[in-house]
């Protein structure tokens, strides 16, 4: 699925290998495991794409959680600008984000950069596993960085819980939940303290964007898979959510690959929705 243009959201391992060492290239390791907080830093230390910097999903791509937020609230524009500056980011940077394989975590950085107006960002198709399979260069040394000053930019296309409630009530919004069907239906909830989903939400698990080998499906197949959901959403703005606003970005990237625009992100997602016991909850399909 390699493309010649940076405008395409994905990049193949062979294309990235050819770019390694380019002056504007910024590779970011986003490996993460929700159940093992130390996994990402340990994986980076054990071996990463040569020249890559490390992004902590919980510390760099999210703000600290509070009693009134979801599990991974967006960082402030100022804090995210400081993170980018620490990586040596500039307006010319060609950012390539990667994770273990599926892009579930790397897509968060892709969306964050795109939403603040930076178009030169891609996700490594197949992630770390694809890089190793392609014989890509691996390093265990921290990557040298020349820090930069980055101006804060707001995140565009973000909706809050009140906007979700209003959008659903008015019929202007189609809320699409990326969680697995059992969690959406209120069964087998092991992460959040309340099970279920936002009433009126549609379920489209992000894993449906991938083949069995954790590679992104071709655009034509994504369009086919998304067709039933988009038919139900016809005429309404698609707003993506999940448990905490991370894997929802996987669906947003998939929709871009499929050629569907006019999307938003409910960044707080389910873990934010349930912070107010007055908000309604649904279970079942």
Q: Check pLDDT > 70 for residue 248.
A: yes
| Confidence (pLDDT) at 7 | 79
Which are the contacts of 53, defined by CB distance < 8 A and separation ≥ 6?
Answer: 26, 27, 28, 29, 87, 88, 143, 145
Provide CATH 3.40.250.10 ranges for the chain: 10-139, 158-273
Tokens of 141: 């040394």
228 vs 208: CA distance, rounded Å: 13
What residues are labeled active site?
242
Tens-digit pLDDT profile for residues 134-153? 999 999 999 999 999 999 99
Domain 10-139 matching CATH 3.40.250.10: the answer reads: yes
Are 240 and 263 contacting, i.e. CB atoms less than 8 angstroms apart?
yes
| Confidence (pLDDT) at 5 | 55
Lowest mean pLDDT among 5-19, 188-202, 220-234: 5-19
Give 2's pLDDT tier (boundaries 50, 70, 90).
Answer: very low
pTM equals 0.95
Q: What is the CATH number of domain 158-273?
A: 3.40.250.10
| Confidence (pLDDT) at 6 | 73
| Confidence (pLDDT) at 214 | 87
């Amino acid at each position: 699925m390699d493309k010649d243009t940076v405008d395409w959201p994905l990049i193949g391992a062979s294309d990235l290998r050819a770019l390694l060492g380019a002056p504007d290239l910024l590779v970011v390791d986003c490996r993460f495991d929700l159940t093992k907080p130390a996994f990402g830093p340990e994986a980076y230390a054990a071996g990463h794409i040569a020249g890559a910097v490390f992004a902590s999903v919980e510390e760099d791509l999210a703000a600290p959680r509070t009693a009134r937020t979801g599990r991974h609230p967006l960082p402030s524009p100022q804090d995210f600008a400081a993170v980018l500056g620490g990586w040596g980011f500039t307006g010319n940077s060609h950012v390539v984000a990667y994770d273990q394989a599926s892009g579930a975590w790397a897509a968060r950085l892709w969306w964050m950069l795109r939403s603040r107006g930076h178009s030169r960002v891609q996700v490594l198709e197949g992630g770390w596993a694809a890089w190793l399979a392609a014989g890509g260069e691996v390093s265990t040394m921290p990557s040298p960085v020349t820090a930069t000053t980055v101006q804060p930019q707001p995140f565009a296309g973000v909706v809050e819980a009140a906007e979700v409630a209003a959008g659903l009530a008015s019929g202007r919004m189609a809320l699409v939940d990326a969680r697995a069907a059992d969690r959406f239906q209120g069964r087998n909830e092991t992460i959040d303290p309340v099970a279920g989903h936002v009433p009126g939400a549609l379920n489209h698990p992000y894993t449906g964007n991938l083949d069995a080998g954790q590679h992104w499906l071709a655009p034509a197949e994504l369009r086919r898979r998304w067709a039933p959901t988009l038919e139900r959403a016809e005429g309404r703005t698609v707003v993506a959510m999940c448990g905490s606003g991370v894997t929802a970005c996987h669906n947003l990237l998939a929709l871009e690959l499929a050629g569907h625009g006019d999307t938003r992100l409910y960044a707080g997602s389910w873990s934010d929705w349930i912070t107010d016991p007055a908000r309604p909850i649904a279970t079942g399909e």
